[in-house]
Structure 1
């Protein structure tokens, strides 16, 4: 969500005539977009703002702005604390950034952090083609904002406000424009994205508000020509109904991955968190999703060290991760946030205990992720290429349908890589696994490493199915086979 908010600010500023600077030293304007889910990010902002005092003094006329959740939470107190800060804008006021910049250039400091429940908060300029058609060919699309769940650990309702759903016609129009610009994959965004339109439907005003149930919205977007992949984040378990489950089995372009935050495996802790479901209900949802789409990859969010969490509670979380077969997860130590229900609970878990639990949880998850990746060896994957891999050489990286990172070695004579350039959908076969990614080889032999050699055999990659009692057999050229064997 914050990444997309940053994209919106860039679009607004470019629409106002500004251009991106190559580096901080060349910039005349710095805008910091913030997160306040955990206190560490908030403290990092204060540290960064302190350092920017010198940056601003180096060149007259430089401007500093702060937006996002910390801005929404702290408001004009940021202006009081940091005299070199020019403007502050909350999560509902991105569209005011150009006007606030003009005011700052005229010597006026300002903060806009009030809650805006109108549809105007979604009224932003169309994103520029250069931004929409970047090398990843993926785009974020906001469908709703805010959260009415008030989980006891979460500050989001205070910083993002109450739920408001965007009109379906506006979403449809934006996605069609993105498809026309070459976007292949869209990620639908919302704090509780599958709650889209729920208040309008419940109150009988869906037609007037221009919304509909989330599954219907997915079906409408699935029919847009040019869109090959649809994902969404972050859903809440409470809003998985039969229609949404069916959508995962019926919609052609809805990807087989679901990021479904669970937070804890203990029913006692889930109740304290005000999550409104049990571990048993979570398992029911996963079972229904897998019945509809057997290859669906499930990932999640988890918190350890919540107030009052016992070793028994934590063991139930480890058990849930195992039984649920989570492909991956994002896990964190509980961070108390002001104004939330959990902040006053007491029963604090010692820091060293929380750290130990986090490390144990992440170790188990690494093992599970590696096991899942190894189970994919021998399977084909359609990879949306994003760009050069951090591993270097002639390797590129991308994502498959299950949203797993895939690294591929390519023929060294591809300059540029042509059929494997960013934005390409490249058929490949998985030949190896690490805890962090899949290793794959393109199905097209002309793209294989070593293909530039005139003596290279022009046969397709051959791979035998992995069995429990044998090692994957790979017949390919150059350093790829050696690398795969080393990893396995």
Structure 2
């Protein structure tokens, strides 16, 4: 799930955890925090618990891990990997799709280093917690969980606990000082060091590695290990760039993910080709400002040396990879949509007719204070241009309510933007001050009860728009990439259509066994709409092989 899911509850977006299933045998368990708890066990290996957005498909990086200099704890050269007792790992993930993908990378690195995945923390010798600091609530949840993990650590001798992600990048060795049972912390640029840090911790060393790096080595990762699951689900994340140079007033990402850096296009193409060869049909391109890919090198005339191309050209090249039938990207910044990218949505059939357009607010005054670099009418014009390029394109968004100084008039402008653009869905939440950001020092905070009331009004409007959009789809035909069993059970499978709508189908109606249908594109007719999803009836054909490819 490349894009934020709907928030149809009337609470803020961080609520109770939930486990999601995936492809049969895929072995990933995803835990989300915006819907009531539901759990399901998967059948294989790696267990990823994510407290946010979506499925975790698969990693297919293309090159071996470069050797690091053995200068600090955790940097000694790797021994030949062996699968021995006491080398079982488990990963918890908080946050966005980039964190989910980082956890996939960590799992793959550990498998290559001789570790073995397990399905629950109580089975693990190594527990990694991959963290999010985009909002204060997620950070506080981490501290609570780390306190509780003192018991996990002491329950069996030799256990190792590591914390990574954005909170680790933000806090560094302060985490080690605060939690004596924490063995190591690693930042967002130091994933490749984790196997060595884990081995050093088993030898009694504690370390924090949170240095920011401008090196492309962070993208230099091994191919998917034979024990790594996920390709059967047909979709995969692919990182094309990392970091952000915009420093919006509310956002901590530039401080936790660093400055923008783009991968060479050749490496991205090679990774996607390798994924396609393994049966992946959809790739989701990731970056903090993904459509800013290569912009600095292109502006300076250094694109040849850097190996980058304009983002629209990258999309066109990826669309030409045999076997790739869908391309998505997230999250873009509205300021970096050029004419070529808008036109690509009409010119490239593989480019899905869905754009996640993070608006944040509909008030020009608030947008200026947020440092967003566009006005509300710019968003309206961009939405119109995208729909002119492809008439059936749908838009979703991110929205913040209660930003410091937001008046009722400002909030009404946000509601007007949502109505005017007709967003099919939105990921909305109350403003959360983050350390080191400009907005954290703004004195004119909105009262919590006012912010909550505005969130409820915004989400009520969004529910109306979402349900209307879903009802308009009843009777139409679409193609669904099946991901796995539906969390609702009842013999259903779930997947996403090209518009990124979740669609449930009855497994009994498929022309092929459910286990074979997962990861395939299945034609369906939409027969029912709910505020959260669509229900589809598979379109059976005389040839079972033609019903799902």
Q: How many residues are matched?
A: 448
Q: Which has the larger radius of gyration?
A: 1
**Alignment-derived partner of residue 305 in structure 2:** 208
CA deviation digits over 1:26-82, x for unaligned, max 9? 110000000000011111111111111111111000000000000000000000010
Match of 2:518 among 422, 427, 430: 422
**Alignment-derived partner of residue 536 in structure 2:** 440
Match of 2:212 among 102, 112, 115: 115
Aligned residues of 2:511 and 2:541 also touching (Cα < 8 A): no
**Alignment-derived partner of residue 100 in structure 1:** 197
**Alignment-derived partner of residue 129 in structure 2:** 32
**Alignment-derived partner of residue 409 in structure 1:** 506
Q: Secondary structure at the match of 1:363?
A: helix
CA–CA distance in 2 between the matches of 1:223 and 1:177?
A: 14
The answer to whether residue 492 in structure 2 is matched with residue 386 in structure 1 is: no
Q: What pairs with 1:48-447 in structure 2 (closer than 5 Å)? A: 48-128=145-225, 131=228, 133-411=230-508, 416-417=513-514, 421-444=517-540
CA–CA distance in 2 between the matches of 1:39 and 1:357?
A: 19
CA–CA distance in 2 between the matches of 1:64 and 1:431?
A: 48
Report the CA distance shift for 1:411/1:436 in structure 2 as closer, same or farther (over 3 A): same
- Structure 1: stretches of 5+ with no match in the other structure: 449-459, 461-488
CA–CA distance in 1 between the matches of 2:427 and 2:367?
A: 17
Q: Which moved more, 1:128-137 or 1:356-365?
A: 128-137
Aligned residues of 2:231 and 2:279 also touching (Cα < 8 A): no
Q: CA deviation at 1:233?
A: 0.2
Report the CA distance shift for 1:16/1:247 in structure 2 as closer, same or farther (over 3 A): same
CA–CA distance in 2 between the matches of 1:50 and 1:348?
A: 31
Kindly report the root-mean-square deviation, in angstroms, between the aligned alpha carbons of the 2 structures: 1.7
- Structure 2: stretches of 5+ with no match in the other structure: 1-97
**Alignment-derived partner of residue 80 in structure 2:** none
Report the CA distance shift for 1:412/1:370 in structure 2 as closer, same or farther (over 3 A): closer
CA–CA distance in 1 between the matches of 2:230 and 2:113?
A: 20
Aligned residues of 2:510 and 2:540 also touching (Cα < 8 A): no
Aligned residues of 1:129 and 1:181 also touching (Cα < 8 A): no
Report the CA distance shift for 1:132/1:201 in structure 2 as closer, same or farther (over 3 A): farther
TM-score, length basis structure 1: 0.89
Q: CA deviation at 1:133?
A: 3.9
Structure with a larger share of its residues in helix: 1
CA–CA distance in 1 between the matches of 2:106 and 2:246?
A: 27
Aligned residues of 1:132 and 1:181 also touching (Cα < 8 A): no
**Alignment-derived partner of residue 72 in structure 2:** none
CA deviation digits over 1:288-337, x for unaligned, max 9? 10000111110000000000000110011011001001000000100000
**Which of the pair has the greater relative contact order for Cα pairs under 8 Å at 6+ separation?**
2
Report the CA distance shift for 1:447/1:273 in structure 2 as closer, same or farther (over 3 A): farther
TM-score, length basis structure 2: 0.80
Q: Secondary structure at the match of 1:411?
A: helix
CA–CA distance in 1 between the matches of 2:541 and 2:292?
A: 46
CA–CA distance in 2 between the matches of 1:131 and 1:260?
A: 33
